[in-house]
Each structure stands twice: as structure tokens, then as C-alpha cells.
Amino acid sequence: MLSAFDRDAERQRLLTRRTIVLGGLQAAAVSALVARLYYLQIVEGDRYTMLAEDNRISLRLLAPPRGLIVDRFGVPMALNEQNFRLTLVSERAGDPTQILTQIANLIPMPEPERRRILRDIQRSRAFAPVTVKENLTWEQVAAIEVNLPDLPGVSIEVGQVRSYPFGEAAAHVLGYVGAVNERELADGKGDPLLEQPGFRIGKNGVERRHDLALRGTAGNQQLEVNAVGRVIRELSRQEGQPGRQVTLTIDSKLQHYVQQRLGQERSASAVVMDVHTGGILALCSWPSFDPNQFAMGISSELWQSLLKDETAPLTNKAIAGQYAPGSTFKMIVGLAALEAGVVGPDFRVFCPGHYELGNHRFHCWKKGGHGSMNMHDAMKHSCDTYFYEVSRRVGVNRMAEMARRFGLGQRTDIDLPGERPGLVPDEPWKRRTLKAPWHPGETLIVSIGQGYMLATPLQLAVMTARLVNGGHAVQPHLTKAVEDLYRERTEWPAIGVTPAHLEFILNSMHAVTMEQGGTAFASRITHAGLEMGGKTGTSQVRRITMAERATGVRKNEDLPWRERDHALFVGYAPINAPKYCVSVIVEHGGGGGKIAAPIARDILLECQMLEAGRGPVADAGPAAAPAAAPAAAPAVAAAPAPAGEASR
């Protein structure tokens, strides 16, 4: 048995060992803690400092002002206006439903709109502002501001909204802006601007074509926030770079006038072009729409009504409408024949009112016939029989080749989205597309701009410009400049057509308007030095049967609107030194000489009068005008139509 002394010594040794072990554990723990602190504060110090700052500081993008779009003279056609926006913070409002009811007593707010706002409030954080209404008027802002003490959580914010002062007159040129959809967000390649609430991008027209230049560069602001994301204060702010200004070749006064003039018809389009530079001075499609309604958010009811309208107000007919060119194609047929040497200017054909090919009869528009015609007279009177014979000699392939040289059957690559190519048929095309051989009768039909032939109003304007500018391959364009990024091209190569042949075709087009009996003589310009030349066209949209011819072809006015002929005219002025050209198509309008030629005359006259600084010359009609549009002066009278005047 151990003595008391030995027992005390043993207990002392045990206590010492335990103390050493405990001390070792404590030392290890302290060492681990020191090592961890060293790792966190020294090794990872910068990282955690950054994370802490990120939790404290919220970096937000500031959308830049969208660039302006102006006409060739600097007149704004698309700009930014103040947008007064009403917002609501639900945590300050108490009962949002009651607050919305109070707001509805001050400004219009239908029940469906209130339900939408309540859904947005439920999806948002309590401290985040929710947009209640945008585009408030001054009167609505005043009504809210006066009652703000009784509207907790409600405030008025000032932003920007896109504005189009020319409204419907320039809608198809400018397009419009709209909210970013999911596909556009996915295609945006990570551009954070696209994720900004309320940010809008170009959806159509010039707004879409130059969207990246018009957007500008985003700014940013640093905000101090608390743990739940509530803003405490603004730390810094850096404004973005505004979008670039886009200058168009458009003359806004002329654009407005042309749209008014087309507004007298049910459905029509027109293009006015500088024949030497290719600059588009006016490009109009009627009926149209108000792009301001799209910028502010179009209602589903209005959208559906636009979609269902049979006159297609959303379609830019000037670049996307494809029509049989009718007799406006005869210049190409004549030029192809002259260039190929198969006929000369004095080649004559007798027109009895029809043309026989095999066992088929092809009719001239003039039932009794024109008699003996040379090319000059055939162009002047628009004799179908003459061009039937010429086309049979020259062949469809050579006609098609000449048509393409003058801009038909292919996109012009104008700086607008949505352009369609038209169609110039030939033998290879039919074999490739329809898997069928070409028939001789189809050549005759193509020679008068019917059958498979299709062209847009823009292509017909390009064709006319190349005919009258000495045979240069001018390309149409709308963009004159994008600040320091782009300047328009105005010099173009020659097509390579014999000048004497071009001059002969032009003299024939002069006869259409300036010589008695010409199909547009009734619509000639009588102002000395401002005279126009041109060519009428009337294209059928239905097949006239032999039975109907036997009993009498029904007049256009007796047919349903959809079955009436299209009216066309291409022209230029002044005759002695062409500078402007125009193409006009009136859908289901009837005869080109009767319907389309007077419109073209008024437009070409307006071009020249505006250039001379004499101001507008006529009140074109009922289409809506911008508030700043000048008053119209009396019209310059055109010669009255003689009895029995041709209208082809």
C-alpha cells in the first residue's frame, strides 16, 4: 500500500500531464485560430474587403438618352421628351389597394390596370418602387402632386419617352421603339442595358437599322444600401454617352406632303428619289400608323385592329409591296431590243387591238387598236401589241438581263429592314423554280409587265433614276450621316447602256406627258421649266375570261375593291435636266393615267417648288399632319383632261 506521500506525488504527476495536454490543445486551438485569421485577413483580405463593399454598395446602370433622328435639313423626326412616371412603394403605402383606389379618383385607371399593378407589387420587394402609370400629362401630375400628403408611398419620377412629331407621315421610315423581348435579350450578347427596366430598342425602320448607334453608352451610379438592399444614399454618379445623331436624306416637308396626298386613296405608296445621288427624299405607305402609340405601349385592341385591316397599315408597301409593274416595264423592253439590235426606233407594228400567237389571242388595252406604231408612238400610247411583237423578237432572257441591270428582281439593299426582292422571270428561273419549260406566250405577257413579273415601288423608282441619270447604277439610301461613323455615297458607276438609246427612251417618256394623246397628257405640269416625263401603268389582278370579253369587260368601279386593277406611274422632273424621280402605286385604283399620274404630278411639282423656296403648293388632303406643318398655298393648276383621254 502506497504511503500518503506517494499518493500525493502520483496525483501531482497526473495533474501535470493533464495540464500539459490541455495546454497543448489550447495552444493548437490558438495556433489554428491565428492561422485562420492570418488566412482571412492577410491572404484573402482583399477578396473579403471587396465582398463587403459589394454588399454595401450597389452599382446601377443609367440608360443614356437615345440619339436623335433628323431630316436632311436638321429638322427632328425622332426625339426624346420628358416622361412623367407615377410610382408606388408598397411598404410606405400601408394598404396598396386603398391607395390605388384614391389614385383612380384623380387620374384614369381601369380595374384591369389596377389588378396588373397589384400583381407587380406582389412580385417586387416591399421597398422597391413599382410603376403605376407612365406618360402622365401636366394636369395629371398636378392632380397627384396636390394630393401627395394623402398618398403615402406615391411619388412622381421624370424619365424620357421617344416622340415622333410627324406621326403617321414618317412611321414606315422611322419605325418605332419598344420593350426588349426574350429573344432580343438572348441575342444581345450580354449587353446589360437590355436588362434595364423600361429600356427600349428599335423595333422597325431606321430605329432598328441604326439601333446600336442610337443607343449610346450607359452611365452608372453607386448607391449605398443596407443588408436588405434598401438605398441609403448615392455615393457617385457618372452620366452615359448619348446616342449618335442619325441624319436622313428625307425632306420632312416633302415626306409630310406625299403622305397627305396618298391619304386621298384607300391604299397607296410612293417613293421620291434624287436621280443622281440615290438619296430618298420621301418614302410613304398609306394607310399608316402612329409610332408614338408603340413607344408608349400599344393596347392589344389597337394592335389587333391594325393586324386585321385589309389595307395592311403595318406593311411598308414602298419596299415590301410586290406588284406587277404593268406598262411601266415597257421602257426596259424597248431598251433591251435596241441594245440587242433586233429592232430600231423606226420599227413599226400594226395594232388591230390584239396579237395572234399560235392559236392564242393576246389583247391590247385599246379594243379598237392603235393602228401603225413605231416605238416612240407605242410608248406614248402604251400600245401592248407593239411590245408583244418586240418581246417575241428580243426574247425573255435578254429582257430579264436588262431589267436586272436597272434594279428589278433583286433587293436594292436600302437601309431599312423588311425589303422584298420582287421577281424578274426568265427561262432558267422557271426551270429551276417551277420545273417547267418557258412558253412563248409567257414572253408576251412579261413584256407588258404582267404574268410572273413583280416589282416594288422602290425598285421602280431606282429603274427610273437609272434611265434618266445617264445610265448610272445609283443605289437608294436613307442615311445621309451617322455623326462621325458614316457619310453617304453619291457617285455611282455606269451601267454600260448606249447613250443614244437612253436618250430615245427618254424622249418617248416625254411624249407620254407632253404630247397630245399621251397616256398622261391630262396630268402634265404646265409650269414652264418644271415639266415632267414619265410612263403610266395599269396592272390586272384578275384574269379576264373570253366569255367576259364577249359580253363586255366589267369596269373597275363595278368590281369589288380587291379585284380592281392597280394604278401605276413612274416619272421625273424637270424634263430638260432630271433631278427628281417618283414612283406611285395605288392599290386597286384603276387606270394609271387617271389615278396615279395626277399624284405623281403633284409630288414632282411640290419637289421643285420646295427647292425653289416657294413653299408648299397644295393642300394634299385629309391625312394627319404634325402640329408644326406650314399652311398650304394654292395649287398650280394642271391642264384639264380632254374627253376620251387614255388612262393606261
Which uninterrupted H or E stretch holds 75?
none
Residues contacting residue 155 through CB under 8 Å, at least 6 positions apart = 86, 87, 89, 129, 148
Sign of the Cα torsion 44, 49, 55, 58 reads negative
CA angle 509–498–423, rounded 5-degree value: 65
- Based on the number of CB atoms within 10 Å of its own CB, is 612 exposed (0-12), middle (13-18) or buried (19 or more)? exposed
Q: Judging by DSSP bridges, how do beta strands 349-351 and 371-373 pair with one another?
A: antiparallel
Q: d(Cα 248, Cα 488) in Å, to the nearest integer?
A: 10
**Cis link prior to 574 (omega < 30° from 0)?**
yes
Collapsing DSSP to helix, strand or coil, 494 comes out as strand
Give the Cβ contact number of residue 385 at 10 Å. 26
In whole angstroms, give the CA distance from residue 342 to residue 360. 24
> What is the Cα 637 distance to its own chain's centre?
34
With a CB cutoff of 8 Å and minimum separation 6, the contacts of 362 are 354, 355, 356, 384, 385, 388, 441, 444, 445
Number of DSSP helices (H) and strands (E) in the chain, helices first: 24, 20
Catalytically active residues are 327
Please state the length of the chain.
Answer: 648
